[in-house]
Structure 1
Amino acid sequence: MSVQAKVLSIQSHVVHGYVGNKSAVFPLQVLGFEVDAINTVQFSTHTGYKHLKGNVLQNEEMEELIEGLILNDVHHYTHFLTGYSRSPDSLRRIAEIIQKLRQKNPHLVYACDPVMGDNGQMYVPDEILPVYRDVLVPLADILTPNQFEAELITGISMKNQDGAVKVIKALHQRGVKTVALSSTELGDDQKMLGIASNNVTCYKIEIPKLDSNFTGTGDLFAALFLAWSHKTNNNLKLTLEKTIATLQIIVKDTYNTARETYPTGKIPAAARELRLIQNKNAIENPPITIQATEIKL
């Protein structure tokens, strides 16, 4: 990296576990980035637990924090990362923040993880969709939706690889330079596909499945993809391979460790928290074991 990369990350925060900023900040720091974090919520745990306590950052409070950064002239960022938000109005405020940050650094790279749902189900208010689609997505340099979110934004379903390419092209037409589908249902029982495109080249990668779900992987994917895009000088193939390699190591270690305690049946949420700290070395230098292959746009 020729310049010191500095990221402003506006995402959720949990006291226990690894989602949102807890899933993104540590890997970014390990990879050499300065990270300033604003927490849109502060919850005891993520919402997959039985009990949820905490509070939501009000829009006025977020604006006050941004104002403090600007007044102290410490708001020169190379990257801006956003994730989970439950308020359409807060997303509009984020669009305003992007404009302010780009006044300071016109070359700011905005990475948007449009967190809305998965597996055909929304877990944010419906009113958030048009704000992502019409306001934030056109501002994004990097977009990291899953299949469901990409279909929502474009209104196009992807039944196969050709459908995925149509969705990706539609996102490029909205102004996004790099699209990375963090996960799709286009694989089979053993693997799912990840796909990334910069509107010139496009790559797919096969991601092995495990018989368990993990929370925070999308947040981790977005942070890693941002980081490796910068560190590889936007080498799309290598960025996708490094991102998936890191995720695979962390998810497999989390799964294997949990299975030592829960050898059969469903693993409880507390045992499925991503083992980020234990895999610091893998985050720094992930060995690539799965190659990405080029597909035609």
Structure 2
Amino acid sequence: MECRVLSIQSHVVRGYVGNKSATFPLQVLGFEVDSINSVQFSNHTGYSRDTSFLEMVVDIIQELKKANPSLVYVCDPVMGDQGAMYVPENLLPIYRDKVVPVADILTPNQFEAELLTGRKINTEDDAFKVMDLLHKMGPETVVLTSTDLPSKHGDQFLVALGSQKIVKPDGTSTSQKICMDIPKVDAVFVGTGDLFAALLLAWTHHHPKDLKAACEKTVSVMHHVIKRTITYANEMAGPGKRPSPAQLELRMVQSKADIENPAIVIEAKVLESSH
């Protein structure tokens, strides 16, 4: 059966963010993509969204799940980062009480995971407790796309964590937990979160019970796209100059081969499976 994706995100005319960041890689990986553009901008920006839009998304998901119970909904609960919210606070209860319960895959950063559960993350153990709480709220797969946890490889690396709940035929469940150390890049990119969520959707579809493989491919594609982008941006900016936001637009089309068949450059470590 052909796979279709309904992508509800913002749209930009130029560059890669929102639907522009998600559509091309999904198409390259064999998915038909239907887009609903929540807003249209000439370029990327951080405008706030209102509660009625989120509630409408929840209604759409519930209707679609009635028609197709095997539908997979990926939610990136974009609310803030580094301890600060960049959306109105009244969106939090809607994400927590309405959006997360209908999500199958959730991709928060550490701060968003803390907001959704009301629990702080100071250790890896805290992070997995928070992810277990998020599983209980609905999603079977949770990936903390970035955390402030220290990497064993030093401060040039970012720690990402994932947890996938697998329900066995007898009704009991186990979870696969993984950890990844991702090299940090000294530049600000826009649209990477949207690309991450799209790739994770694609690769979890191709590897439904193997979070390790899905995350390795997702993060490796990200690495190739970002590396190609930073190399190009530095060439365009010239020696000693910092690249402009325009020069740092993701080199998406140029990365088509990497999106289709990424060389695995970042490996995920499987931690103990818990019951």
Q: TM-score, normalization: structure 2?
A: 0.91
SS where residue 125 of structure 2 aligns?
Answer: helix
Query: Equivalents in 2 of 1:266, 1:114: separation in Å?
Result: 30
Aligned to 1:293: 269
Contact 1:13 1:20 in 2 (8 A): yes
Contact map agreement 1:191 1:206 (CA 8 A) in 2: yes
Letter in 2 for 1:196: G
What corresponds to 2:185 in structure 1?
Answer: 210
Report whether the alignment pairs 1:36 with 2:11.
Answer: no
Corresponding position: 1:259 with 2:228:
no
Q: Report if aligned partners of 1:85, 1:91 keep a CA contact under 8 Å in 2.
A: no
Task: Using the TM superposition, give the Cα deviation of residue 103 of structure 1 relative to its aligned residue in structure 2, in angstroms.
Answer: 1.9
Residues 1:153 and 2:116 aligned together: yes
Shift of 1:266: 3.5
Partner of 2:214: 239
Tell me the matched-pair count.
260
Structure 1 position 143 matched with structure 2 position 106: yes
Letter of the 2:17 partner, please give it. Answer: V
1:27 corresponds, among 5, 25, 28, to 25
Counterpart of 1:71 in structure 2 is none
Q: Does 1:273 align with 2:271?
A: no
SS at match of 2:131: helix
SS of 1:38 mapped into structure 2: strand
Could you say if the C-alpha distance between residues 226 and 47 of structure 1 is closer, same or farther in structure 2, counting changes exceeding 3 Å? same
Which residue does the alignment assign to 1:250? 225
AA aligned opposite 1:134: D
Measure how far apart 1:119 and its partner are.
1.8
Unaligned runs of 5+ in 2: 166-174
Unaligned runs of 5+ in 1: 49-83
Which residue number corresponds to residue 52 of structure 2? 89
**How many Å separate the matches in 2 of 1:150 and 1:265?**
36
Per-residue deviation, residues 35-64 of structure 1 (Å, max 9, x unmatched): 00000010011127xxxxxxxxxxxxxxxx
Q: For the Cα contact (< 8 Å) 1:12–1:85, is it kept in 2?
A: no
CA contact (8 A) 1:92 1:135 kept: yes
Percent identity between the two aligned chains: 54
What amino acid sits opposite 1:114 in the alignment? P
How much is the aligned-residue C-alpha RMSD, in angstroms?
Answer: 1.5
What letter is aligned with 1:26? F
Q: Deviations over 1:41-100 (max 9, x none)?
A: 10011127xxxxxxxxxxxxxxxxxxxxxxxxxxxxxxxxxxx97111111111111111
Structure 1 residue 261, shift from structure 2 partner? 2.6
Secondary structure at 1:279's aligned position in 2?
helix
Q: Secondary structure at the match of 1:8?
A: strand
Using the size of structure 1 for normalisation, the TM-score is: 0.84
